[in-house]
Structure formats: structure tokens, C-alpha cells
Amino acid sequence: MCGIVGVVSTQPVNQLIYDALLLLQHRGQDAAGIVTQLGYKFFMHKAKGMVRDVFRTRNMRALPGNCGLGQVRYPTAGNAASEEEAQPFYVNAPFGVVLAHNGNLTNAHALRRELVQTDHRHINTESDSEVLLNVLAHELGRASRGAVLQVEEIFEAVRALHRRVRGSYALVALIAGHGMLVVRDPFGIRPLCIGRGPDGTVMAASESVALEGTGHRFERDVAPGEAIFVTLDGQIHARQCADDPRHHPCIFEFVYLARPDSVIDGISVYRARLNMGEALATRVISTVPPPDIDAVIPIPESSRPAAMEVARLIGRPYREGFVKNRYVGRTFIMPGQAVRKKSVRQKLNVIASEFAGRNVLLVDDSIVRGTTSREIVQMAREAGARKVYLASAAPPVRYPNVYGIDMPTQEELVAHGRSVEEVRQLIGCDALIYQDVEAMKRAVGALNPTLAGFEASCFDGDYITGDVTLETVAALNAPRSGAGDDDDSAAGTRLTLPNAQEV
Ligand SMILES: O=P(O)(O)OC[C@H]1O[C@H](OP(=O)(O)OP(=O)(O)O)[C@H](O)[C@@H]1O
Ligand SMILES: NC(=O)CC[C@H](N)C(=O)O
Ligand SMILES: [Mg+2]
């Protein structure tokens, strides 16, 4: 998951894109970038770091123009340490195209080979997003028949792109002098929505919070397989470009990735978390008798709605027991296990009085590597808790993810190959209660019965795009295993473009 935004306006868009990226910061903390267009020229600045650190006043001043794109990156392909893989990406032909991507391609290796050997394109990084951009550019080139691209030709190119590309891809792209292209993959795995401002500004973004927080009205989600082209004067053209679109959004968006104030594919993320809490409460009651629980305590931040609902339904008090240092980012999306582990204690501190002599039920939204829960259970015990029970609003994460969540290997997942009892022993709690997979799907699915289903491979091992099996996942993720553990690892010797560039 990364955060992407694209804007077409009649006013300068640099500050607007910056503000939208701040609202999407929870989706990617590693790198950030903005590209704007003035006339036929693109202006770009991108670098590693959080939005506030990447853009200084001088960088913002160097981003003129009334349309542009932005991205915050959470690396899931290529090299996490590489500055060159920050997005957006640029190619000069045809016309000049820049692109920002959220997702992960499952056939990036094969596409890379094809692009180089058959299409004679040059790929300069290990990023799958650069591969995606080159497929788009190549197909735009093939579809264009005159000096100016026609909207139908753009849709023809997207149809061809859907046939070549596998995996998850929500993208925004600018075609120089033409307008903005917005595309969602045929399964709608990663979120993407579109809206308008009072002055007619059109904005597409990963989450509705980016629209609302910048004063835009959410209009709709982009449909799976759909392409939307926004001309520079704000006219919107939309077309279904996939042969067989089926709507299976990623369920982990509702568990953890998205902000609770966003609505994705008609489902309020907050309500989804409450529903997961409701389903979890039933399992808690059948495992630990509520009178044995003195307090229900969330592990901030993402588990709060679920924990509140568990407390209400089991009839025990909801208490805050951990205070989050708001200046430390989300630990799960940090690159490298060492930094993730260190950050848990930096990020969360106990309120000792809530634990001393009590039996506590800690609730988290998910347990992935077990980094958070192991530390937290220990902290609760150090603070004097008598019994420490732990409940997870999501089922055990047992399978790697290939669609844009950085869980490349089974071995790193604490629940992989272990029974619930073995996980409990490893985490060190007195009881461990997991959500059930079907109950989770029902809890979220009840909020939009029109969906075909969910992409839930990390829970059920079912890879929705059909081109990936558990056997092929390892090969697919091989370059990512351990990625980020060594922040000094360089991308090899390759052409490095300057950061602030007029491209
Ligand atoms: O088992 P793990 O590998 O530790 O991963 C799961 C934890 O990571 C996430 O928290 P994070 O700190 O990233 O963000 P949050 O503040 O939104 O909860 C998630 O909410 C869990 O607490
Ligand atoms: N999480 C994402 O969406 C990542 C996008 C892309 N695969 C990258 O690694 O940069
Ligand atoms: Mg958390």
C-alpha cells in the first residue's frame, strides 16, 4: 500500500497535493514525491522521507502548474533503500508521461524482460512501478494515431495494459499536454476514488479522507478495471477497460491499512472495525469468562474501534493503558525488523495504574510478525498485570502477501506453521483469541453485499489474480526477503538522476 493522489485544477496545485499527501501519510512513510505540469513541462521533486521532510519551501516553489500527482511510498518491490525508486516515475515518450502507483505487480519480472527485449524500452530501477509506467507508455504509443492522443486511444491503451499486467495497481498518470489518467486493476484490489472541489478541481486519491480533508466532495470509487480520463479543462471521460472485472478489494485495508475516517468501496473503515470487534467479542466470551477480565485495553492506534466494541459487548470497562508517542510513525510499515522492534517501545508506553494487579484483555487489529504483541504483553506484565489475555480482530496471518503489503516470506509470520497455542507461548500471553476468517469476511462484507468478495490471501492463502500460487510466491518475493534490514544496501551502479529536476 502506498498513497497516491492526482489533481486537475484551474489553480496552482502544489500545496493541494502536499496537503493530500499529508492525509495519506499513514499509507507510506519511506519516500514522497510530487510532479506538476505547466504547459508541456513536468516539474518533479521526490526523495526518501516523510512528506514534511521531503518538501522544503524552495522545493514547493519549484512545482508550478495547475495539474499534478503525488505519492507516498511503502516499498513492496525493488529496493526500499533506493532514492531513485521514490515516485512518481517519468518517461519522455510518447508525449511525456508521469505515473504514481499503489500496488504490486505479480508479473513484473516477465514484463521487464518483454519491455527490454521486445518493446526496446529502458528500465532504470528495480521498481515494478517503473515497469507499469513503461507498459502504459508503450501501449499509448501503439494506440496513438496522430499528433494528439484521442480519449478512445487512451482507453484502448488501458485495455491493452490490463491484458499484459497482473497483480494490483491503482494508478494516476499525467500525459503531457493532454490530462490525467486514473486506472484501477480489474479486481479493484487497492482503493481509488474521485471527487470534485467547489471550484471544479478534480481530485483522485487512494482514500476518501484525502478528498474530504482538502475540501473536495467524494463522488465515487473508481470501478475495478475502469479508466477515467480527465482533460486539462476538467471534463471527465470514463470507460470500463477490463474484459472480466470482479470486485475483490483487499480486506487488510479495513483491518489496518486505511484510516478509519475513510470510506472505501462503500464501506466505512470505522464501521468495518466495529463489526470485526463485534465478531471478536463472541470468540472472547467463549474463551475467557468476562468476569475474569478487569479491563479491555486497545493497542493503539488501529485497534481502538474493535477494542471499544469488544468491551461494550462483553460488558467490561474499556481503558486506555498505552500512550502512543505521536511523533513515531506506524511500526508495521517501517522497513526492516530491527527498526520495527525498537520502535514499538519508543512508540508505546504504559499507564502502569491500569495494569497493576489486574487481569487485562489487550486487543490488537492484527498480529503479523508478532513484533508488537510480544513487546506489549511483556510491558503489561512489567507494569504488574496479573493475567494478560490478547485478542486479534483479524485471523492469523499465515501467508505472504503479493499485492502491496510488505509480508514477503512465510517464515517471518508468527502464525505460519504454528498452532494458536504455539503462537500464544511465543507471545507469552495467558490466552490468545483470534478472529475467524469467515467471520471477518462477513463482518466487513455485510457493509457492502454487492462486492464479489475480498482479496484476503494473507489469511486464507487464496491469490485472487489466479497467476500466483503458494509455490510461486517465494520466487516472486525473493528479491524482497529481508529488504530494508540493511539500509545501506545500494541499488548497484546505475544512472542516477538528480532529485529536484525539471524533466
Ligand atoms: O505483529 P506485528 O508485525 O507487530 O504487526 C501488527 C501490528 O502493527 C500495526 O501497528 P502499527 O504500529 O504499524 O500502526 P498503528 O499505530 O496504526 O496501530 C498493527 O496495528 C499491529 O499493532
Ligand atoms: N505499497 C505500494 O503500493 C508500493 C508500490 C510499488 N510496488 C513500490 O514498491 O514502490
Ligand atoms: Mg497497531
- Give tens-digit pLDDT for 181-197: 999 999 999 999 999 99
Q: Does 129 contact ligand 2 (Cβ within 6 A)?
A: yes
Q: Does 6 contact ligand 2 (Cβ within 6 A)?
A: no
User: To the nearest whole number, what is the mean pLDDT of the chain?
Assistant: 92
CA of 445 to the centre of ligand 1 (A): 23
Q: What is the ipTM of this complex?
A: 0.97
The predicted pLDDT at position 147 comes to 86
Check pLDDT > 50 for residue 503. Answer: no
Q: Does 372 contact ligand 1 (Cβ within 6 A)?
A: yes
Per-residue model confidence as pLDDT tens digits over 12-65: 999 999 999 999 999 999 999 999 999 999 999 999 999 999 999 999 999 999
| Residue 364 marked as a ligand binder | yes
Per-residue model confidence as pLDDT tens digits over 231-270: 999 999 999 999 999 999 999 999 999 999 999 999 999 9
Pairing of strands 202-205, 193-196: antiparallel
Per-residue model confidence as pLDDT tens digits over 441-452: 999 999 999 999
The predicted pLDDT at position 479 comes to 64
Instruction: Place 480 in a pLDDT band, splitting at 50, 70 and 90.
Output: low
Yes or no: is domain 271-326+344-442 CATH 1.20.58.340? no
- Residue 372 CA, closest ligand 1 atom number: 4
CA of 78 to the centre of ligand 2 (A): 9
Check pLDDT > 50 for residue 461. Answer: yes
**Residues across the chain:** 503
Percent of the chain with pLDDT over 90: 84
**What pTM value is reported for the model?**
0.93
The ligand placed nearest to the CA atom of residue 26 is 1
All three cell numbers of 17, joined, read: 497535493
Task: Name the residue ranges covered by the structural domains of the chain.
Answer: 3-246, 271-326+344-442
Q: Which CATH architecture has domain 3-246?
A: 4-Layer Sandwich (3.60)
The predicted pLDDT at position 481 comes to 56
Does residue 141 or residue 77 have the better pLDDT? 141
Tell me if residue 458 is catalytic. no
| Residue 261: burial class (beta carbons within 10 Å; 0-12, 13-18, 19+) | middle
- Residue 332 CA, closest ligand 1 atom number: 13
Which of 209, 262, 328, 331 is the best mutation target for the ligand 1 pocket, counting ligand atoms within 8 Å of the beta carbon and taking the most? 331
Q: Does 275 contact ligand 2 (Cβ within 6 A)?
A: no
Q: CA 196, CA 181: separation in Å to the nearest integer?
A: 15
Cα 54 → chain centroid: 20
Q: Does 299 contact ligand 1 (Cβ within 6 A)?
A: yes
Per-residue model confidence as pLDDT tens digits over 278-336: 999 999 999 999 999 999 999 999 999 999 999 999 999 999 999 999 888 887 777 77
Neighbouring CB atoms inside 10 A of 243's CB total 10
Q: CA 393, CA 440: separation in Å to the nearest integer?
A: 8
| Residue 428: burial class (beta carbons within 10 Å; 0-12, 13-18, 19+) | middle
| Residue 221 marked as a ligand binder | no
Q: CA 380, CA 488: separation in Å to the nearest integer?
A: 35
The predicted pLDDT at position 498 comes to 32
Catalytic position from the list 2, 67, 241, 458: 2
The predicted pLDDT at position 344 comes to 82
Smallest CA separation from ligand 1 atom 21, residue: 366
| Residue 30 marked as a ligand binder | no
| Residue 408: burial class (beta carbons within 10 Å; 0-12, 13-18, 19+) | buried
Are 3-246 and 271-326+344-442 equal in CATH topology? no
All three cell numbers of 422, joined, read: 504455539
Per-residue model confidence as pLDDT tens digits over 383-435: 999 999 999 999 999 999 999 998 888 889 999 999 999 999 999 999 999 99
Q: CA 69, CA 172: separation in Å to the nearest integer?
A: 7
Give me the mean pLDDT over the 463-474 stretch. Answer: 87
- Residue 87 CA, closest ligand 2 atom number: 10
State the DSSP code for 480: G
Q: Does 206 contact ligand 2 (Cβ within 6 A)?
A: no
